[in-house]
Amino acid sequence: MKLVSFIGSGNVAWHLAPALDNTDFAVREVYSRNPAHAAALVDKLYEADVKTSLDFSDSPSNIFIIAVPDDAIQSIVQEIILPDEAILVHTSGSQPLSALGYAAIPGIGVFYPLQTFSKSKKVDFADVPIFVESENPGTEKVLLAMAKAISKNVHQVTSQERKAMHIAAVFASNFTNHMLLIAQQIMKENNLNFDWLKPLIAEMINKSISIGPEQAQTGPARRGDFEILDRHMEFLQNDEQRAEIYKVISQHIIDRYH
């Protein structure tokens, strides 16, 4: 059995720590700048303790998982004190492996679960793709075993590939969601019910995932219907930024298909 310590108790740790705790990678410690947050996560685990300092020199753990916002990783790495032969990983989509270089130990790696996590919503890790990276063969082996303990969907990628994937994920997830927000706002401004769009949204995503977004594309820009595009731009003219978004995406669709 490997023992694991978490640095961070945010959305990723909140789901990842209990998932690991049910496997041969038992969680023993949770550190957070806010000990109350660490305590809340510890409550969900079998035998873990709250850790209030980053001095892990006496820790029983082998694996230290940094699950904090990207801009907090550097200061953690500079402060943390690890036991001998520790493995140190981060869980970020956009930070390179070298973000852990300051730790000056051989056992560094990345353990990136590609999913959107919120504390209120349960996640089934079995289907969450996990991307592992390490330049140390022993560390890589341990991280692959840890990933496979919770997911059927484990892959090895380089820092550069992970960065590309993270940008693709921003388009596929964050920007997609923002399109839904704009749709919701337009409905609201016109006293229409956002719920009316939900069957369309669900069907469109199903179609896009099953036949692929290229085949699934419909709409005035796809058809090259400039009359409708002009009328929509006219409708949107009271909100310059929204009109700009409509224009650049429509233009991109037109250029792609015509």
* Residue 41 CB, nearest approach to its own copies (Å): 19
How many CA atoms are closer than 13 Å to the CA of 182, on its beta-carbon side?
14
B/e letters for 24-53, b = 16+ CB within 10 Å, e = fewer, are ebbbbbbbbeeeebbebbbeebeebebbee
Measured from the CB atom, the residue of 81 and 164 that comes closer to its own copies is: 164
Angle, helices 11-21/35-42, rounded to nearest 10 degrees: 30
Q: Which is nearer to its own copies, 105 or 187 (CB)?
A: 187
42, 17 Cβ separation under 8 angstroms = no
For residue 2, the tally of other CB atoms under 10 A from its CB is: 16
Cβ nearer to its own copies, comparing 52 with 218: 218
Of the pair 52, 118, the CB lying nearest its own copies is at 118
Min dist CB 16 to its own copies, Å, is 15
Helix (H) or strand (E) holding 102: none
- CB closer to its own copies, 32 vs 250: 250
> Closer to its own copies at the Cβ: 44 or 163?
163
Give the dihedral of Cα atoms 167, 173, 175, 181; nearest 10 deg: -160
Nearer Cβ to its own copies (78/237):
237
What is the enclosing helix (H) or strand (E) of 44? Answer: none
CB 177, min distance to its own copies, A: 5
What sections of the chain are H helices per DSSP? 11-21, 35-42, 70-79, 137-150, 159-169, 176-189, 198-211, 213-216, 220-223, 226-235, 240-257
Distance CA 226, CA 220 (A): 7
CB of 90 to its own copies, least distance (A): 14
Report the distance separating Cα 8 and Cα 258, nearest Å.
Answer: 49
